Amino acid sequence: MALRDEILAANDRYAASFALSGLGPRPRRGLAVLTCMDARLDPLPSLGLEPGDAHVLRNGGAEATDDVLRSLELARGLDVGEVLVVGHDRCIARASAPGSPDAETAVRRAVAAIAERLPQLAAAGFLYDEQTGRIRPVD
């Protein structure tokens, strides 16, 4: 079976018991999470969140790009008041970019960029260890 067919069959099973149709666009926890696109990171369960609890923004390296900042501006209109930036140490996006800062520095920069452009949002940084599933604060 081709991957496309596997995906469609999996979606049929998912849709057969779909229970999220009552969710609105506002995240229940008033939270946004910016994290890396790395497939080893599963942001909702790793942070104790459920579908509908948070907006999740992902890109290579958990960067606070102009597009991410634009999305966070929109999220403010949907009652988001806090942002978690979750980077990780073994980030391939960082390793493949010459001169890229280490993960901790990158998380600090993302938090600072959010604080500068959107001071009404409380932003905090964390590093995720994809070997243990644990996060630790970045101050």
Read off the pTM. 0.93
For residue 56, being part of any structural domain is answered with yes
A 10 A CB-CB count for 123 gives: 21
What pLDDT score was predicted for residue 1? Answer: 67
| Sheet-wide strand order for 135-138 | 54-59, 31-36, 82-88, 122-128, 135-138
What pLDDT score was predicted for residue 117? Answer: 97
What pLDDT score was predicted for residue 104? Answer: 94
CA-to-CA distance for 121 and 85, rounded, in angstroms?
Answer: 12
For residue 28, being part of any structural domain is answered with yes
Contact indicator for 39, 93 with CB cutoff of 8 Å: no
Q: How many CA atoms lie within 13 A of 53 on its CB side?
A: 12
For residue 1, being part of any structural domain is answered with no
What pLDDT score was predicted for residue 67? Answer: 98
For residue 45, being part of any structural domain is answered with yes
For 72, the enclosing helix (H) or strand (E) is helix 66-76
CATH code where residue 130 lies: 3.40.1050.10
Tell me how many domains the chain contains. Answer: 1
Contact indicator for 106, 100 with CB cutoff of 8 Å: yes
For residue 112, being part of any structural domain is answered with yes
Strand-pair partners of 83? 32, 123
Give me the long-range contacts of 95-100 (CB less than 8 A, separation at least 24): 97/61, 100/61
For residue 15, being part of any structural domain is answered with no
pLDDT tens for the 139 residues of the chain, in order: 699 999 999 999 999 999 999 999 999 999 999 999 999 999 999 999 999 999 999 999 999 999 999 999 999 999 999 999 999 988 888 888 888 899 999 999 999 999 999 999 999 999 999 999 999 999 8
For residue 16, being part of any structural domain is answered with no
What pLDDT score was predicted for residue 99? Answer: 84
Domain residues for the domain of 93 are: 23-138
For residue 11, being part of any structural domain is answered with no
